[in-house]
Chains A and B, each alone.
Chain A
């Protein structure tokens, strides 16, 4: 058992070293949220019916979720890279269980995503967002939970995909729609019914609502419902991801 924990830690450690070394990746994945906050946040301020809320404050939680989502997806899908790199084989032949490998991979990816989320939060603080310490401490495990859910999804997709070429398709047809339909950028209360149904199906909606509630105390959905949805989604994707990963290798 001890050895399995050591193995999870080892795979996690590798993700961390790789993350720290890929500076261009860190910078580019922070740059995008800044553009959103600054340009979109300022320009759309007048046209969004956020009911008296500052629009920039309204979208900040959504942008944090976006940063977490993109980084998590990237980490999950990097299973394909490991396969092409050959390092996956090195891990698979080691005398450790596959569950430990996939667990280390997921925790590692989620940790990098949470770090990205915190970086975006710090930037938003510089742009005028306010958050108290308690809320921040509550936010941390929630960010981890959200990140794990998307990493699990990434691992599941990576276990089905043949090559990295499908990554662009996944980003454009899965991640982007999930983000745009989530209510990260607009309040979902005022949407037409058909669109409302889609946002309720989108798991990211609950990520955003939960994060927004913790940060600014505003939510369009019952907060317990959001939490259960996030927890359920994460458990489901992790299980499916681990299952598909195991079957593939």
Chain B
């Protein structure tokens, strides 16, 4: 069943800046769908349109068959959102934050307590429910936000850069948590990220976005396979490089090394070494490289997805003791 349906979506800011430039895609029930791209690619704008926070300039988008332009309230009732920036009230306790959310989303009084207990359990925050959020670590706050997004039993969960600025260990913890949501609750998740490993680890399908356009959309495996397989990198003496180029087809010299494109590096490495030996080529060093999503992005756009640290304002905000 299709849960998210997007057709020709365009968003222009101030009559000139095209943040989203005619994108199309569909997301099925129970899928984790990721938007991967550098900062400013239009990921968050797309998300804001799907959450009925921003109106698109052109095109249409439907969430759970509700139109984001004409039925924003219905859309908001069936989605959960976790923003890029913290959106908890840090003077309140964990439980109070969840309580306010349940009331705002009209969760019936008889069910409130149980649902809050459930999500606290899920987020492993039950023992901290009465603590003021200000005392929480970054990872705990994130888990609480994820938990909060689930109280009203949304059918789709939107996550905007869910692990931005978290340390690797906490990031792994959040990933496990997201995978658990998919596995145990069958919830549809749509996330944006500019971390390749995150997209790789979590997403069933990935839309690579740049300059407001979706430039590729497939599973992580298919995207990487589209590059035509692995690379074997041979470190050779200068005179051997020319020789090697003649012997191996699909080879390219680069920076004093010879790059060979092969289907499966593990399987072909033995054969390559044998050929080299037979032709008296002295292999100084050998490296294998499997394509990453970054290579996919590189081959599509000619640039890399920069792994940016959160900007200065963000860092200061996170470091400042609660106000």
Chain A residues proximal to chain B, CB less than 8 Å:
3, 6-7, 9-10, 13-14, 17-18, 21-22, 81, 84-87, 89-96
Contacts and interface: CB of A to CB of B under 8 A. Distances in A.
Nearest to A10: B103
Contacts of B189: none
Contacts of A9: 103
A14 B92 contact: yes
B26 interface: no
Contacts of B100: 10, 13-14
Nearest to B148: A90
A22 B101 CA distance: 22
A143 to B, nearest CB: 25
Query: Most B CB atoms within 10 A — which of A13, A84, A85, A95?
Result: A95
A169 B5 CA distance: 48
Contacts of B53: 92-93
A17 B105 contact: no
Contact of B89 (A14, A93, A95): A14
A95 B106 contact: yes
Interface string B128-157: 000000000000000000000000000000
B175 interface: no
Contacts of B317: 84
Contacts of A7: 103-104
A86 B83 contact: yes
Query: Most A CB atoms within 10 A — which of B73, B87, B92?
Result: B87
Contacts of B51: 93
Q: Across chains A and B, which 8 residue pairs bring their CB atoms closest together, nearest first?
A: A86-B87, A94-B104, A10-B103, A95-B76, A90-B87, A95-B77, A95-B73, A87-B89
Nearest to A88: B87
Interface of B is mostly: loop
A90 B133 CA distance: 15
Given A13-B103, A94-B76, 9 more contacts: A9-B103, A22-B91, A85-B86, A85-B323, A89-B83, A90-B104, A93-B76, A94-B104, A95-B106
Nearest to A100: B104
20 contacts: A9-B103, A10-B100, A10-B104, A14-B100, A17-B96, A18-B89, A21-B91, A85-B87, A86-B83, A87-B89, A89-B85, A89-B87, A90-B83, A90-B101, A91-B104, A93-B53, A93-B76, A94-B104, A95-B77, A95-B105
A133 to B, nearest CB: 36
A86 B106 contact: no
Interface residues of B, number: 25
B88 interface: yes
A17 B132 CA distance: 12
A92 B54 CA distance: 12
Contacts of A18: 89, 91-92
Nearest to A92: B53
B87 A87 contact: yes
A179 B83 CA distance: 41
Contacts of A85: 86-87, 89-90, 323
Interface in B92-135: 92, 96, 100-101, 103-106
A87 B89 CA distance: 6
B312 to A, nearest CB: 15
B207 interface: no
Nearest to B80: A93
B81 interface: yes
B134 to A, nearest CB: 10
Nearest to B48: A93
Contacts of B77: 95
Contacts of A84: 317, 323
B213 to A, nearest CB: 26
B117 to A, nearest CB: 19
A119 B85 CA distance: 38
Given A3-B106, A93-B76, A87 B323 contact: no
A93 B85 CA distance: 14
A124 B76 CA distance: 49
Query: Most A CB atoms within 10 A — which of B51, B96, B106?
Result: B106
Nearest to A86: B87
Contacts of B105: 94-95
A81 B323 contact: yes
Nearest to A90: B87
Contacts of A13: 100, 103
